Structure 1
Amino acid sequence: MAQHFLLSKAAKTLSLAQVFRMSDEKAEEVFAQIRWTETKGAPVCPHCGGVDAYSARRANGALRFRCRACAKDFTLTSGTLFASHKLPLRMYLAAIAIFCNEVKGKSALAISRDLGVSYKACFVILHKIREAMAAELKGRVIGGEGKVAEVDGGYFGGYVKPANLSENRRDRRFAKNQNGKRQCVVIIRERNGNSLPAVFKAESHAAAFIKARVAKGTTLNADEAGSWNSLDKHFEMARINHEEAYSLDDACTNWAESYFSRLRRAEIGHHHHVAGTYLLRYAQEASWREDNRRVSNGDQVNRIIGLALSRKPSVDFAGYWQRHKTAA
């Protein structure tokens, strides 16, 4: 019997113990090497692009660089997702390592206990990590000539608690008995390839998204739901009736179901609630994890840091702590 990848030595190239044994300077070096690969970790001014900068640490030990060309100060995270960070970079490295080691997700509450950091700080850090992951999915097109992809939908959120007395209970499958908060995650997944999720009010609203994000020549597999009938005009389709079989004549949606299995286990086992405003972020996280399930944890950490340092400050979470001021 073949060994599962997660049990192999190749899967474990970075341990949390290694991170905690690092000094703050070593963690800073890791971030510098990833951000400024072309200069082998030497600082590059984000203001003018100058490569002649020197260290000008503050009295509290915070690392700063000063550019000799424009005389402006900058840090390892200036102009990135992690800009204006308050915690040492070693804590960010530890948070990312913990996040990657949990293959089905990690809650902000659990990380706050692991690192001794406030829940709110961990909530923001994890959503910035998810935003970095989502950068890889932006503009992605699935499939191509001769390739096979699968589409499927799963509903999340909008739970309606049944009434105590049986005579007061209503059939929650009908729209009139729902609360309007239920949303559908639709996944497009290429076999032996990448995936792409999106969130809609209903599965039937996803047709235009699928047409735009699936390349011509792709064979699409879907179940017998009427939501996918309009795709017949644009793609060669293979349909599977799940009342008869899960896989028949090479038609199945098992790859898509594998994605939903990961997302459901993250919801049930870690987050307990992934609906509403942040549902797409959790869906994108599950997609990234599924696509990179055969990548070592060390490489995953490096890729997330690289994605975060190549992104501009978050639209949703820059100034998150001061949001109550803007709302006033």
Structure 2
Amino acid sequence: MVNYLLRSGAMKLSLRKINDLTDAEVEDKLKLLRWPSTNGEPVCPDCACDAVYVIATRSQYRCMRCGHTFSITSGTVFHSTKLSLRSILQLGLLWANAAKGKSALELRRDIGMNHKCSFVLLHKLREALLTTADDTPMDGEVETIFHTPLHN
């Protein structure tokens, strides 16, 4: 079994590629991550309606059915941050690709954000994983693979 991070699919996005993207392309990537079932088209988080229009001056959307105003980060751990969408995408990439976790100090250095912000965001990401974890017991045939360290 090959480590996920070594597969070619894991290398579709890198920090270099993120930095080369335009602001519109960064927004499109995040929309695809946020709304994969509609191919990146916004969906109202309140009523699940896909009939929305753009409020361009505020980079937000408004639902035509219920009138709810929302953005790409609404309802996520990033909803109250002042980070740019590019920084959010960079943070997500660095955090997801860190094989043994990512510290707040590392994120502070890598992205150039303040330590308190990186500390809080990492805790929010970890908490989101815990609250959305599926705790149902596995059934059927379950296979585990143990890796032993190599000795010189």
Pair in the same fold by TM > 0.5:
yes
Can you list the C-alpha shifts for 1:27-83, whole angstroms capped at 9, x where unaligned?
Answer: 22122122223322222222333322111133xxx4111222233311112223322
CA 1:20/1:63 → structure 2, altered by over 3 Å: closer, same or farther?
Answer: same
1:306 aligned residue:
none
1:75 aligned residue:
71
**Structure 1 residue 7 displacement after superposition:** 5.4
In structure 1, runs of 5+ residues without a counterpart are 148-189, 193-254, 262-328
Alignment partner for residue 89 of structure 2, among 68, 85, 93?
A: 93
SS in structure 2 at match of 1:41: coil
In structure 2, runs of 5+ residues without a counterpart are none
SS in structure 1 at match of 2:62: strand
Aligned length: 149
Higher relative contact order (CA 8 A, sep 6+): 1
Identity of aligned residues (%): 36
- Given that residues 24 and 88 in structure 1 are in contact (C-alpha distance below 8 angstroms), is that contact kept between their aligned partners in structure 2? no
Determine the C-alpha separation between the residues in 2 that align with 1:97 and 1:17: 11
1:25 aligned residue:
24
Matched to 2:31, the amino acid is A
Determine the C-alpha separation between the residues in 2 that align with 1:134 and 1:36: 21
Determine the C-alpha separation between the residues in 2 that align with 1:5 and 1:48: 36
1:139 lines up with 2:92 in the alignment: no
Alignment partner for residue 191 of structure 1, among 144, 148, 152?
A: 144
1:118 aligned residue:
114
**Structure 1 residue 8 displacement after superposition:** 5.8
Can you list the C-alpha shifts for 1:157-186, whole angstroms capped at 9, x where unaligned?
Answer: xxxxxxxxxxxxxxxxxxxxxxxxxxxxxx
- Given that residues 14 and 93 in structure 2 are in contact (C-alpha distance below 8 angstroms), is that contact kept between their aligned partners in structure 1? yes
Determine the C-alpha separation between the residues in 1 that align with 2:10 and 2:70: 35
| TM-score in terms of structure 1 length | 0.40
Runs of at least 4 residues of structure 1 off by over 6 A? Answer: none
SS in structure 2 at match of 1:65: strand
| TM-score in terms of structure 2 length | 0.78
Structure that is richer in strand per residue: 1
- Given that residues 5 and 97 in structure 2 are in contact (C-alpha distance below 8 angstroms), is that contact kept between their aligned partners in structure 1? no
SS in structure 1 at match of 2:56: coil
Q: CA RMSD in A?
A: 3.0
Determine the C-alpha separation between the residues in 2 that align with 1:70 and 1:5: 41
Matched to 1:54, the amino acid is Y
